[in-house]
């Protein structure tokens, strides 16, 4: 399928649905979408290039009909429905569904969510989404960059000491999330392929990219690597739907 991909998380209580903000992630391990696929090397939200009405279109034509059909079949679904989309020359198309949050998109979406996530999920569990207040969002842009271990995604090297997290967290608007880490001999070490996600909130994509990479550069992990072009094309205005 041609066109850019979009990730949209939808919360369902088995009857009603409530969308979160769309995001875009980057699966290839190297810049310019080159190299093997990964679990995701970074993401950003919101999407300044997304067509007006995209989220409502997905709710009306994909998410709500899916939830309605599952209920009709006697298998109602309450939880997180991940809708992976491609904005193709033939219109919006579904690439995949997942029944969970997925990273790294979750990191940027939840960084912008002002409404308490716990309250939203409780409403879903109690079949009260239809009466739940409209979600509130921070106006800033969020960008996350994944710091991966040496040789990821092929044969990730683990067990190396990690430093610099306090320095990254000290930057205003930046926070570091752990993924492939553990404590060994009273030291923080890598324990997986995608080790850390550095998340930043800023006024726009340019400012947020600058901030997040300051955080990434503070991280100390031997042999680690990351993409340097997360959200770059969007910041340059180089992304548009294939049917635009």
Instruction: Report whether the peptide linkage leading into residue 9 is cis, meaning its omega lies within 30 degrees of zero.
Output: no
Q: What is the mean pLDDT of residues 142-149?
A: 98
3-state secondary structure of 164: coil
Q: What is the mean pLDDT of residues 74-101?
A: 95
What pLDDT is attached to residue 78?
A: 96
72: which 2 tokens? 């009709």
Q: Output the CA torsion sign for 11, 192, 188, 148.
A: negative
| Chain mean pLDDT for the chain | 96
Within the chain, where are the H helices? 54-58, 64-72, 105-112, 117-125, 165-169, 205-218, 232-235
Q: Output the CA torsion sign for 68, 71, 72, 73.
A: positive
Gap between the Cα atoms of 74 and 85, Å rounded? 26
CB contact burial 166-188 (16+ within 10 A = b; e otherwise): ebbeebebbbbbebbbeeeeeeb
Q: What is the mean pLDDT of residues 134-157?
A: 97
Global confidence as pTM: 0.95
Gap between the Cα atoms of 158 and 144, Å rounded? 22
pLDDT digits (tens, 9 = 90+) for 104-145: 999 999 999 999 999 999 999 999 999 999 999 999 999 999
pLDDT digits (tens, 9 = 90+) for 182-236: 999 999 999 999 999 999 999 999 999 999 999 999 999 999 999 999 999 999 9
Share of the chain above pLDDT 90, in %: 97
User: How do 78-88 and 91-98 pair as beta strands?
Assistant: antiparallel
What pLDDT is attached to residue 172?
A: 97
- Nearest C-alpha neighbor of 41 from the set 202, 220, 195, 215: 195
Phi, psi dihedrals of residue 215, rounded to the nearest 5°: -65, -45
User: How do 181-184 and 141-148 pair as beta strands?
Assistant: unpaired
Q: Tokens 């990821």: give the residue.
A: 152
**Start-to-end C-alpha separation, the chain:** 15
């Amino acid at each position: 399928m041609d066109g850019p991909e979009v990730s949209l998380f939808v919360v369902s209580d088995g009857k009603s649905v409530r969308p979160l903000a769309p995001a875009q992630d980057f699966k290839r391990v190297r810049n310019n979408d080159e190299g093997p696929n990964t679990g995701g090397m970074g993401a950003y939200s919101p999407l300044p290039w997304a067509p007006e009405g995209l989220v409502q279109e997905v709710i009306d034509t994909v998410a709500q009909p899916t939830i309605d059909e599952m209920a009709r079949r006697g298998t109602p679904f309450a939880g997180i429905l991940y809708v992976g989309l491609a904005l193709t020359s033939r219109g919006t198309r579904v690439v995949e569904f997942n029944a969970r949050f997925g990273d790294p998109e979750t990191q940027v979406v939840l960084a912008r969510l002002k409404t308490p996530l716990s309250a939203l999920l409780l409403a879903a569990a109690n079949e009260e989404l239809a009466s739940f207040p409209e979600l509130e969002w921070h106006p800033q842009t969020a960008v996350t960059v994944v710091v991966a271990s040496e040789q990821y995604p092929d044969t990730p090297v683990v067990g190396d000491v990690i430093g610099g997290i306090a320095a990254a967290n000290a930057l205003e608007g930046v926070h570091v999330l752990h993924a492939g880490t553990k404590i060994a001999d009273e030291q923080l070490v890598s324990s997986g392929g995608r080790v850390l996600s550095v998340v930043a909130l800023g006024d726009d994509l340019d400012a947020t990219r600058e901030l997040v990479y300051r955080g990434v550069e503070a991280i100390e992990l031997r042999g680690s690597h990351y993409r340097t072009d997360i959200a770059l094309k969007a910041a340059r205005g180089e992304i548009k739907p294939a049917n635009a």
